Structure formats: structure tokens, C-alpha cells
């Protein structure tokens, strides 16, 4: 069967939100044990029940969400009823088929055909546990929506979804992968209203995605907390899903209208929570969430123990964060005078490449060890003596490695005035460079990073104070 109209899911959803002034999605999950006796006398009680719910709510919702399992449990009659219900729902209201499918790529392709061609759904829920090849067949239908299970609303969600892998919980790793896979802009995430703090963390990582938020109603989710955490700046971005609390209410229309109006009241009220997260703070949180900033017990190159470890080499494996890092560097670099970007191997090479692409400026880099074969160049890339190079690195501690790289560049006839890093560990590097006549520009200082991570619950205040004390002690040595 073809799709339920020519509009994409995103377009149809946007129009339904606007037309019905609604972010409410009603679940259509039939349980004949809860049907009124009058319905049981119908030739098709499941369809009659769903028809009554749709008739009373179709001008109050932005979507419907039938859960496939409820219909499968009723056998062939249940599937026939689902077919009739999908055909009956007004074509201007999108349907999210709640199937939670997830299997190897070949099988997933057939599940995708079932969702979008056989059933004609506008969107589907998918379990991403098997990885990219389990998701791609669904996302390949670029006009349909795919909602990946991220942090679900049930009690058992914490059993696996909160496990660290590494440095941040699994549900944030899912959100990160969803951003990478969202090439057609048709992927969203399922995050339960029963976990508003986790919902906030997902929204920080995925600021533009649509979030399907179950758990309001019978599961007792925090509607106010969920909306405060999940709404975008435009007052949209969240689809609030309620099933039993509306479909089995004495008057489904009154229940749907009451919840729709509560949602609208909350999303239009002046924000009562903390202000929107600054881009710099969002980037700090992203660095932590992908494991670039880790806390624990580590041994540094010097052999000393440390309660914090910075590993910005991981940026190369997280292109969406690397892109944001490059844009942040670019903001500083646009205010400097230079002819070439000189990135210090190795952590700064992917950063330097991303920055060069962002600014459309040439990149060179001094080799740590000159090759004994080939061109035997000490500096890779094209440049002319007398040109001005800006040194780019990932972080600065004492400044020693920056001075070594600068000396190598200056021996080749390049002029250096500025050094730009992502993180200043605030252990004297800026002062040492300044004494030699070089200006240090850092996107973040460690003190700022620790404060942001503590403010947003990534670390405890005690951990922040412990790390700050360690860094202060190191500075005094």
C-alpha cells in the first residue's frame, strides 16, 4: 500500500500541529477487556472502539499512535481491524506505528516495507540496539519518520539505558548516533516523560530533533518537567503521547481536550526554569557526553595521578561535535590575522582540518619526527617564508609543546603571534607563552568547564571541588 498522502511526515506533522494547535498524540491500543459491553456486540469491536476515539479527538491531536502488539495479540481479526483503522484515520493526521522493530539489516528492510508500504504508516518506532544497519532501511524512506528508542518511560529503562559506554550513558550514545544517521532529517527520538532530567540531556545533545514523549497519563510522567526539558525555542519539538488515560476515559474528547490545553498552557507560559543553555555551555556538555572529558583515576604521561583526563582525539569519531568545535575555533580565528593554520599533531590534526574547511583557509602542520625518506619535510603543506601562521592545538598545560612547534615553524621562516586551543588547563601555559611574546586564545578554561558540568548535573559539586583543588595544587608546583 502506498503512503497516507504525498506530504512528508515532517510536513504533515507540522500542519497538524498548526491546524489543531496541538502537540498531543493519542495511542490507539485496544484491550477488549476494557471495552464497554455495548461495543462487544459489534461485528468488529476493535474497529468500533478505535473509530469512536478518532471521531471524538481528530481535531485535538497532532498524531495517532497504534501499538502493533495490541493488534497482533488479537490474531488475524486484530490485524484486519488495524487495516480498517489506518484507512479510517483522516489522511491529514499522521500515524506513528508503534512497532519498536529492530533486527539485522536484511530483515529490517522487510520491517520497513511492512511499516511504510504494507501498513502505510507515516512514521514508526525502531529499536536501534542492533546499530546502523538496523536503522538505515527505515531512514531510507526519506518522506517517513523514524523514532529511535532512546530513554524509554518504563521502570526497567535504567537497567541498560543508563549504563556508561564510556564516559556517558548509553541513551546519550543513542542520541549521538541518531544525529549522525539523520541525513534526511527524518529521525527523532523516544524519551519518556518519567525521566525529565534525561530528557533534558537528550534535548541538549539534539536541539532540533522531534522527541516522542510517552509516559504522561497512566504512567504518571511529569508533563511540566518534560515540556520544560524537551520543548524547542519555537515551542514545538515534543510529541506528547497518551494512550490509556484518553482512549479509556469516560469521555475521550474531554480527556484529550484537557491534556491538549494543559500542554498548550505550559508551552506558552513564560519560562520558569533556567534560561536556555549558552552555546559554549552546550559544547562543554557535548565534550563530556562523548567521553572527551572523563573523571576518575588516571595516570598522566608524567606518571602523576589525576582525577580528570582530557582526550580530544575522540572528536574525530564524533563528527557532529567536531563540527561545533570547528565553528567555535572559527569565531576566534576570524578576529586574528594569519595566512596559514598550523595544527600541532596529533590531536589537533582532525580539528585543524575541520577548521580549515569551516574557514576555507590553508592548513599546514609541523611533523613531530622528520621522515628519512620522501620529501623529508619538517612541515607538511605549502607555505612561503614570511607568512603569518596561527598555531592551533587541542589544549594547553604548560605551553612547552606549543613553544617547540613555534620554534620549528619560525626556523622555516614563518611568523607566529597567536596560539588557539580548545581548553586551557590553567596551569601556567598562557603566562609562559605570553612571556615569549605569543598570545594564547582558549575557548574554555578548566574552571569554566567544571562549573558548567556541575551546574548541569554531569558531575557533583564535590567532584568539581576535588578536581579544582588538584589543578590548583599542580599550578603551585
Number of Cα atoms under 13 Å in the Cβ half of residue 5: 19
Interatomic CA distance for residues 203 and 232, integer angstroms? 8
Around Cβ 159, how many Cβ atoms within 10 Å? 9
Contact 254, 294 (CB under 8 A): no
What CA–CA distances, in Å, run from 244 to 30, 149, 154, 207, 249? 9, 20, 15, 30, 7
Q: Which three cell numbers stand for residue 214?
A: 510517552
CA angle, 404 as apex, 398 and 405 as ends, to 5°?
A: 110
* 371 a catalytic residue: no
Closest CA to 242 of 269, 228, 262: 262
State how beta strands 379-380 and 363-366 pair. antiparallel
Q: Which three cell numbers stand for residue 432?
A: 609562559
Contact 27, 65 (CB under 8 A): yes
Which of 12, 51, 65, 100 is labelled catalytic?
A: 100
Query: Which of helix, strand or coil describes residue 251?
Result: coil
Interatomic CA distance for residues 296 and 309, integer angstroms? 8
Interatomic CA distance for residues 119 and 131, integer angstroms? 24
Long-range contacts of range 439-443, CB-CB < 8 Å, 24 or more positions apart?
A: 440/396, 440/399, 441/332, 441/336, 442/396, 443/280, 443/283, 443/328, 443/329, 443/332
Contact 175, 150 (CB under 8 A): yes
Residue 361 has what DSSP assignment?
Answer: -
| 212 Cβ contact partners less than 8 Å away, ≥ 6 residues apart | 25, 65, 96, 125, 147, 188, 189, 190, 191, 239, 241
Interatomic CA distance for residues 122 and 474, integer angstroms? 57
Around Cβ 207, how many Cβ atoms within 10 Å? 15
Which residues does the annotation mark as catalytic?
100
Amino acid at each position: 500500500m502506498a503512503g497516507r498522502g504525498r506530504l512528508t511526515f515532517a510536513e504533515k506533522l507540522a500542519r497538524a500541529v498548526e491546524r489543531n494547535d496541538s502537540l498531543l498524540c493519542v495511542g490507539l491500543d485496544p484491550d477488549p477487556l476494557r471495552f464497554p459491553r455495548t461495543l462487544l456486540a459489534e461485528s468488529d469491536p476493535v474497529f468500533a472502539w478505535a473509530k469512536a476515539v478518532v471521531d471524538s479527538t481528530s481535531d485535538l491531536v497532532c498524531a495517532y499512535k497504534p501499538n502493533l502488539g495490541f493488534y497482533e495479540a488479537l490474531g488475524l481479526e486484530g490485524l484486519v481491524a488495524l487495516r480498517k483503522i489506518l484507512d479510517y484515520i483522516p489522511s491529514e493526521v499522521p500515524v506513528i506505528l508503534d512497532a519498536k522493530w529492530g533486527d539485522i539489516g536484511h530483515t529490517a528492510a522487510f520491517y520497513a516495507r511492512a511499516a511504510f508500504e504494507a501498513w502505510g504508516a507515516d512514521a514508526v518506532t525502531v529499536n536501534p540496539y542492533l546499530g546502523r544497519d538496523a536503522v538505515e532501511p527505515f531512514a531510507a524512506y526519506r518522506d517517513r519518520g523514524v523514532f529511535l528508542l532512546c530513554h524509554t518511560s518504563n521502570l526497567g529503562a535504567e537497567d541498560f539505558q543508563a549504563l556508561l559506554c564510556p564516559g556517558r550513558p548509553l541513551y546519550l550514545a543513542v542520541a549521538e548516533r541518531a544525529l549522525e544517521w539523520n541525513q534526511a532529517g527524518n529521525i527523532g527520538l523516544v524519551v519518556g516523560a518519567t525521566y525529565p532530567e534525561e530528557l533534558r540531556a537528550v534535548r541538549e545533545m539534539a536541539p532540533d530533533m522531534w522527541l516522542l514523549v510517552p509516559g504522561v497519563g497512566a504512567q504518571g510522567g511529569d508533563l511540566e518537567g518534560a515540556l520544560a526539558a524537551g520543548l524547542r525555542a519555537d515551542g514545538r519539538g515534543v510529541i506528547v503521547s497518551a494512550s490509556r488515560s484518553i482512549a479509556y476515559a469516560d469521555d475521550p474528547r474531554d480527556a484529550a481536550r484537557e491534556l491538549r490545553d494543559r500542554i498548550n498552557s505550559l508551552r506558552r507560559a513564560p519560562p520558569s526554569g533556567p534560561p536556555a543553555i549558552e552555546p559554549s555551555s552546550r559544547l562543554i556538555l557535548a565534550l563530556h557526553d562523548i567521553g572527551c572529558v572523563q573523571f576518575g583515576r588516571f595516570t598522566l604521561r608524567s606518571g602523576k595521578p589525576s582525577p580528570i583526563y582530557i582526550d580530544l582525539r575522540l572528536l574525530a569519531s564524533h563528527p557532529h561535535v567536531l563540527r561545533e568545535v570547528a565553528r567555535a575555533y572559527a569565531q576566534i580565528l576570524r578576529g586574528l590575522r594569519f595566512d596559514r593554520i598550523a595544527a600541532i599533531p596529533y590531536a589537533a590534526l582532525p580539528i585543524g582540518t575541520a577548521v580549515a574547511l569551516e574557514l576555507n583557509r590553508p592548513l599546514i602542520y609541523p611533523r613531530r619526527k622528520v621522515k628519512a625518506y620522501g620529501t623529508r619535510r619538517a612541515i607538511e603543506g605549502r607555505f612561503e617564508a614570511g607568512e603569518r601562521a596561527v598555531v592551533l592545538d587541542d589544549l594547553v598545560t604548560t605551553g612547552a609543546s606549543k613553544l617547540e612547534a613555534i620554534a620549528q615553524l619560525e626556523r622555516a621562516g614563518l611568523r607566529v603571534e597567536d596560539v588557539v586551543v580548545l581548553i586551557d588547563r590553567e596551569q601556567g601555559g598562557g603566562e609562559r607563552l605570553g612571556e615569549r611574546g605569543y598570545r594564547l586564545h582558549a575557548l574554555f578554561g578548566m574552571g569554566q568547564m567544571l562549573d558548567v558540568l556541575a551546574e548541569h548535573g554531569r558531575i557533583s559539586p564535590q567532584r568539581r571541588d576535588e578536581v579544582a583543588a588538584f589543578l590548583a595544587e599542580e599550578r603551585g608546583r
